[in-house]
Structures are given as C-alpha cells and as structure tokens.
Structure 1
Amino acid sequence: MYTIILKTLMNAPIGQCFDLSRDIDLHVQSMKASGEKAIAGKINGLIKLHESVTWRAKHFGLYFEMTNKITAMDYPNSFTDEMMRGPFNKLHHQHLFKTIGTQTEMTDIFEFKAPLGILGWLAEKLFLTRYMKRLLVERNEVMKREAEGDKRRA
C-alpha cells in the first residue's frame, strides 16, 4: 500500500476550501483530461456525510468505475472518502483543513493499494503512485484557482 501526502495552501477561508473540496461539479471540471463523470449516487453539488458517488473515467486507455462514500466529516476541518467498489483493493482519502494566518492549508492523505498482488505492487512502484499524485495535484490546482478567484463563495 502507498500513501501520498500533499499540502496545498490557498488564499481563501477554511469553509470555502472545505466546500470546494467536496464539490462534485468542480471535481468533474478538474478531471476533464480523463473524462471523469459522476454517474450514480450524488452526481452534482456538495457531497455530504454518508453519501456516495460513482465515477466513470478513462485511465491508461481503459474505462473504470469507482464508487466512493464519505465515511467521516467534521466541518470545516476534515472529511474522509473511501472506495466502496472499484479498481483498487483499497482507497482511503483524508482531506484535512487548517487555517494559517489568512490562508487555508489543505492536506490530502491518499492511501491506496492496487489489485493483482505482486503485479499491482510493481505497478504502484513503477508508475501508479506518480500518476495518482499528478491527478491530486491537478485537482488541487483547479480548486486553488477557484478558491482564490471568487471570494464571493466564502
């Protein structure tokens, strides 16, 4: 299993950053390259505790579906989503928020385990961890631009 820890600083209030992080529509916008769409469950707006969303996206030339559920939430400090069904043996993503002066620090703790035993482990090591981190960075860049560009959403 691999863990990616990513910190993103945003010039926006903590509540705004928290809400942008659970905004289905913004997530879809940030994943345009993979054509990711919400196809079942909560398919737009802000996802809440105990709600789930099923995503469909194309990665590595293949279509994947994955259902994630919000399993914990402490507004505006943290929430956790976990894969209930999908391509990984495990996917657990903690979103942590902290105010630092006038900024919000968002920390992603993203844990995942690929299927297929030793082949999955090899994929994690050779390319999957780097690929997943790039997806998180791209998502956070879109969120940061949105947070810092529209102060009316505070």
Structure 2
Amino acid sequence: MPARIEVVTVIDAAPSVVFDLTLDVDVHAASLPASGETATTSTGRRRLALGDEVTFHARHLGLRWHMTSRITAYERPYRFVDEQTRGPFRCLRHEHQFQDLDGVRTQMADRMTVTAPFRPLGTVVTWALIIPYLRRLLRHRAAHIAYIAQAREP
C-alpha cells in the first residue's frame, strides 16, 4: 500500500525563483548537511530539466543510501515530477507544485508517494520510521529553499 506525504510551504518569492532553486541539486544537497549528501547528474548540469536523471548518495538513519530519480514531468514554473528509477523503494514519486499567490509569494507543495519493499515488514517500517523521517526532510528542504529564495528577492 503506498504511503503519501504532503508538505506545503509559503515562500516570499516568485514561483520561477522557487521552481529553479528546487531543481538545483546543489541547493538540495546543501539543505541536508548532516547526511553528507552528494548528487551526480546524467548531464553534468546542476539544474535538472525534463528527462534528466540524478543519483543521490547520502547517509540517512545510520545507513548509506543510493537513489536515482528521473524528471518525468516539467511545466516551468508550476510543476515538475521526479520518480525513482533505482533505489531503496518499490516506488517513489515526488510531485512538486508551485502556485503564484499574489505575484510575490509562492505556495510550494511537495506530494510524495512511497511504496515500500519487502512487504509486509517493509510496509510497517515505512509507516513507522521512513514516512515521518521523509516528512521532516521535506520540511527542512523547504525551509532551506525559502531562506535562499527570500534572500534573493529584492
């Protein structure tokens, strides 16, 4: 059974600024310094686009994780989707939506769907441990993006 996480953040910056920061793998890695996260892109570019793949290497929950995702939908500056192609989950889909609130603020919504491996034990571990952990990571990443975006806005 898939688990769903939603984190919504209002950021005092235009959607295009927030959208571009969210696709920057260096901003992503910097938002999680305790994990020692690094990212390698399929193109060598640091900002992802439609069809690009990125492989993340990090330490989470005391374990070394490797996950590759591909950008499967891209509608700048309103929405993009990344989906795991290789990694620890049976399925991981992360939809990012950006709504212009009033020309100067953006509502950023992270909607992640995760399906655990190793049923039924994997399902229990995912609901008890992984989902709360991913929710905290998404909130932390959103706060980091907000901080950078708001510092850039005039």
Query: Do these two structures clear the TM 0.5 threshold for a shared fold by scoring above it?
Result: yes
Q: Does 2:84 align with 1:83? A: yes
User: C-alpha separation between the residues in 2 aligned to 1:139 and 1:43?
Assistant: 22
Q: Does 2:9 align with 1:14? A: no
| Greater than 6 Å deviation, 4+ residue runs | none
Listed one character per residue, the Cα deviations across residues 43-81 of structure 1 (whole Å, up to 9, x for unaligned) are 552100000011111112111110000001011110000
* Equivalent residue letter for 2:101: I
- CA drift of 1:42 comes to 4.5
> What's the C-alpha RMSD, in Å, of the aligned pairs?
1.2
Who is 1:25 aligned against?
A: 26
Query: 5+ unaligned residues in a row in structure 2: which ranges?
Result: none
Query: 5+ unaligned residues in a row in structure 1: which ranges?
Result: none
Count of residue correspondences: 152
Q: TM-score, normalised by structure 2?
A: 0.94
User: C-alpha separation between the residues in 2 aligned to 1:125 and 1:18?
Assistant: 29
* Equivalent residue letter for 1:125: W
The answer to whether the 8 Å contact 2:41/2:52 transfers is no
Q: TM-score, normalised by structure 1?
A: 0.94
2:93 alignment partner, SS class: strand
2:48 alignment partner, SS class: coil
1:48 alignment partner, SS class: coil
